[in-house]
Structures are given as structure tokens and as C-alpha cells.
């Protein structure tokens, strides 16, 4: 006849630990599914030949279509701090995009024209873009300094003032350099999340095994 008398203190610590390990494993499985969906959405976004087509056709989610047409940008540009392979400044200006309907005013869109590294100041021009919503400010984003042309977060009103533009005409999206799969998706592929999940589940199984073995050794568990 099965017999089980759990050790109170060991059980008190083991149950929360088991719940935590299972929760972490399940969370990693959810992250794997979420990231796979995001990668599919990015790879299925398509291409268009003009910024007007990208804006007028609309898009769902965070990834707009890739744009290969020319960017007729003139005038001043702002230096927006960003992280790529190395930290640097994205050169961002405003470009007029024809309206979708006749009689409507043209819209202004922030567009990246180049990237300057902090270390050497080398500028890499942009030849392909993707349309994305304007990025929200992060918790640790620095304060903008218009006097030195250093921007750490998108502030439409302040940036429009620096470029002498009407903020009401600026679209809530920007054209950033299309450099392939975003770093946030490429850095940890879905397969790695599966590995993390199996690790957490394996630790949970090991904990159950140690718990059972300890009770067997003390004569508190017989099957």
C-alpha cells in the first residue's frame, strides 16, 4: 500500500520553488510563440516602391512595408541617438509625402538619411527603409538637447520646431533604415526560448526527483 508522510519544512520550500520553475518554463514557451509570430509578421510585410504607397496602403502591427524608392529629402537633419551594432546618431529629417486623396494636404514624415557612429563619426547612408510607428520614449531615455542637436526621444512638437515645420502635418510614423530583422527579434531566436523552457522544466523535474528521493530515504514514501 502506498505510504507518504511529507516533511513539512521541505514541502514548504519545495512547492513554491516548483511553481516558480514551471511558471518560468511556461513563460519561455509563450515568448517562443510570440517571437515566432513577430518574425512571421516582419517577413510577410512586403515591399512598395514609394513612401506614398507605404503610408496610403496602411499596415497592421509594428512593421510596415519595406520602401525602396528614393527619399527626396532636403534641409536640416536631427541627430537621434540609437543603438545598432554600435551606439550612434541616426540622422533624421522631414520629408513631404503626397496625400492619399486629391485635395488633401501633403504629410510630413520623419525619415532617416544616415547613421553616424559615436566612435569615428562615419556616416552610412540609407538606401532602403521600413515604416514604423514613432518609437515611445524608454524609461532610461535621456533628455533632448535641441541646442546641441542631440535627441534621445521623439518629441514631435520640439523636433518640428527645430526643423521649422508644422507639427500638425507630421504623420505618427517614421521611415527608419531597413537593416533586416530587428535586433530585438534576432538576438534571441525562438529556438533559444525553447531551450530555456526545457531547462526550467528539467529543473522542475529534478526538484521533484530530489524531493521524492529524500522522502524515500527517510522512509516517508513507499509505493
What sign results for the dihedral spanned by CA atoms 174, 185, 44, 177? positive
φ, ψ at 163 (rounded to 5°): -100, 5
Indicate the Cα dihedral angle 104, 106, 110, 115, nearest 10°: 140
Residue 166's pLDDT is what?
Answer: 93
Q: Write the secondary structure of the chain as one string of H (helix), E (strand) and C (coil).
A: CCEECCCHHHHHHHHHHHHHHHHHHHHHHHHHHHHHHHHHHHHCCCEECCHHHHHHHCCCCCCCCEECCCCCCCCCCEEEEEECCCEEEEEEEEEEECCCCCCCCCEEEEEEEEEEECCCCCEEECCCEEEEECCCCCCCCCCCEHHHCEECCCCHHHHHHHCCCCHHHEEEEEEEECCCCCHHHHCCCHHHHHHHHHHHHHHHHHHHHHHHHHHHHCCCEEC
Answer whether 0.85 is exceeded by the pTM: no
Q: Measure the CA–CA gap between 169 and 178, rounded to whole angstroms.
A: 24
Name the β-bridge partners of 210.
none
Residue 121's pLDDT is what?
Answer: 66
The tens place of each residue's pLDDT in the chain, 223 residues long, gives 777 888 888 899 999 999 999 999 999 999 999 999 888 888 887 788 788 888 887 666 667 788 886 666 767 899 999 877 778 899 999 998 888 887 788 889 999 988 888 877 677 778 888 888 888 877 778 899 999 999 999 999 999 999 999 999 999 889 988 888 877 787 888 989 999 999 999 999 999 999 998 888 888 777 7
Cβ atoms of 215 and 167 within 8 Å: the answer is no
Cell of 113: 538619411
Residue 131's pLDDT is what?
Answer: 86
Amino acid at each position: 500500500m502506498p505510504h507518504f508522510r511529507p516533511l513539512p519544512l521541505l514541502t514548504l520550500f519545495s512547492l513554491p520553488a516548483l511553481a516558480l520553475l514551471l511558471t518560468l518554463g511556461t513563460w519561455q514557451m509563450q515568448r517562443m510563440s510570440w517571437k515566432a509570430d513577430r518574425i512571421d509578421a516582419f517577413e510577410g510585410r512586403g515591399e512598395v516602391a514609394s513612401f506614398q504607397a507605404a503610408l496610403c496602403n496602411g499596415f497592421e502591427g509594428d512593421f510596415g512595408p519595406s520602401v525602396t524608392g528614393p527619399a527626396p529629402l532636403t534641409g536640416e537633419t536631427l541627430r537621434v541617438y540609437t543603438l545598432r551594432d554600435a551606439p550612434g546618431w541616426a540622422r533624421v529629417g522631414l520629408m513631404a509625402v503626397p496625400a492619399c486623396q486629391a485635395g488633401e494636404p501633403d504629410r510630413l514624415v520623419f525619415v532617416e538619411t544616415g547613421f553616424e557612429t559615436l566612435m569615428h563619426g562615419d556616416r552610412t547612408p540609407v538606401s532602403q527603409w521600413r515604416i514604423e510607428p514613432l518609437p515611445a520614449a524608454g524609461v532610461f531615455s535621456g533628455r533632448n538637447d535641441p541646442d546641441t542637436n542631440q535627441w534621445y526621444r521623439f518629441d514631435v512638437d520640439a523636433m518640428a520646431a527645430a526643423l521649422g515645420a508644422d507639427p500638425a502635418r507630421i504623420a505618427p510614423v517614421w521611415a527608419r533604415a531597413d537593416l533586416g530583422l530587428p535586433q530585438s527579434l534576432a538576438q534571441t531566436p525562438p529556438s533559444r526560448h525553447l531551450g530555456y523552457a526545457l531547462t526550467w522544466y528539467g529543473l522542475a523535474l529534478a526538484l521533484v526527483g530530489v524531493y521524492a528521493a529524500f522522502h524515500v530515504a527517510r522512509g516517508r514514501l513507499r509505493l
